Amino acid sequence: MYSPSIMNIDELNIANIRSQFPVLDQQVNGKPLIYFDNAATTQKPLAVIEAISDYYRYDNANIHRGIHTLAERATEAFEASRLSVQKFINSYEKEEIIFTKGTTEGINLVAYSFGKTFIKANDEIIISGMEHHSNIVPWQILCQDRGAILKVIPITDVGELDMDAYAALLSTKTKMVACVYVSNALGTINPVKKIIELAHNVGAKVLLDGAQAVSHLDIDVQDLDCDFFVCSAHKLYGPTGVGVLYGKRALLDAMPPYQSGGEMIKEVSFEGTTFNELPYKFEAGTPNIAGVIGLNAAIQFVNRTGKTAIRDYEQALLVHCVTGLKNIKGNTLADPILFYGIAKSKVAVCSFAIPGLHHFDAGMMLDAKGIAVRTGHHCTQPLMNRFGIDGTVRASFAVYNTKKEIDVFVEAVKLLIRK
């Protein structure tokens, strides 16, 4: 694992951090940009932008098989990123790190390849009621294809998993539990260690969707004992189009390739083909080399800043935001703001609705003031249905946001309510 920074909340130099993100230094609709859509994607520091640019400027070459200097430099940088990811999530060996194009592809890879090998008719797969569509649809398709049964962990009114109901769903028929670590729509941090322990007790494997967790929480896949972990670089201050699948070696060795083509083969003839060893067996075709190198730069940015310091600072922002919104008065409504996702343990995501104002309209009005939030169902329609709504306004925070920005945001929301 990385060595956490010794910095604390008081030592974070936000002005210095913000200066590393050029996108923040602009106006939108004549107002300074306030970017509160970090759960959708985080902005990129100069170190990431320059790492991508430098690859194309100086080292642009395909990787692994070239013997010339550029190819060797590109390969070295690409594989250095794999080692960096291994340390960042504490996998046992770097060969357990598979590069994908994102969380969605990682889930699909496991659903297809693990499912093809281990899922049969009447087996059961468990997901939760707060899953992103990307962790619902692949399992639905697998169940339809294999004749398996999909079961869902219900959600409580405060936006937490009903763990008693989860325990009751488990049986010897359960072969896979696929669960989000942190809800993108609510910010809820799920008790994944307990989820994994209970699943393993009945012989089931566990996939964690870590898309929202990876930038906020310390990830240690060995301590969690998860069988698979998936995440995306662009949620971690890195580039889009790059993701990571971690899997335990024994499982990855037993699973067939997800795609075929170059790199994932060892020998090819017209009579037959033998597949490459890990991790290359699951990395068919030319990868997003620049993006993978950019991911390494993003990880180094997080390590330098200190994930504990980032998390503490973001939590302070969340408290400041919720407190400010709760203090809004002067409206005839008894509850001018309805909050969704009030779990005891959550990351810096604030989802809410303003009665009488559609969330899309609220988002457009806030954008007119230069404030970027996300509105809609956040690719969690079943979760929205659980609460009887069609969407929320979601403000999500990152290390470059400030309390002053939140004050501007709260005042803007106050005006929307009063109007």
With contact defined as beta carbons under 8 Å apart, do 242 and 233 qualify?
Answer: yes
Closest CA to 187 of 387, 56, 405, 38: 38
Query: Is 231 known to be catalytic?
Result: no
**Residue 227 has what pLDDT?**
98
Closest CA to 295 of 48, 86, 72, 106: 48
**Residue 2 has what pLDDT?**
33
With contact defined as beta carbons under 8 Å apart, do 123 and 170 qualify?
Answer: no
Say what the alpha-carbon torsion angle 90, 96, 100, 106 is, to the nearest 10 degrees: -90
- Domains of the chain, earliest start first: 9-43+307-418 (3.90.1150.10), 49-303 (3.40.640.10)
Distance CA 169, CA 192 (A): 16
**Residue 6 has what pLDDT?**
41
* Residue 274: Cβ within 10 Å count: 9
pLDDT string in tens for the chain (419-residue length): 333 344 554 556 898 999 999 999 999 999 999 999 999 999 999 999 999 999 999 999 999 888 899 999 999 999 999 999 999 999 999 999 999 999 999 999 999 999 999 999 999 999 999 999 999 999 999 999 999 999 999 999 999 999 999 999 999 999 999 999 999 999 999 999 999 999 999 999 999 999 999 999 999 999 999 999 999 999 999 999 999 999 999 999 999 998 777 665 666 667 666 767 889 999 988 999 999 999 999 999 999 999 999 999 999 999 999 999 999 875 454 578 999 999 999 999 999 999 999 999 999 999 999 999 999 999 999 999 999 999 999 999 999 999 999 999 999 999 999 87
Distance CA 49, CA 47 (A): 6
pTM across the whole model: 0.94
With contact defined as beta carbons under 8 Å apart, do 74 and 296 qualify?
Answer: no
With contact defined as beta carbons under 8 Å apart, do 125 and 216 qualify?
Answer: no
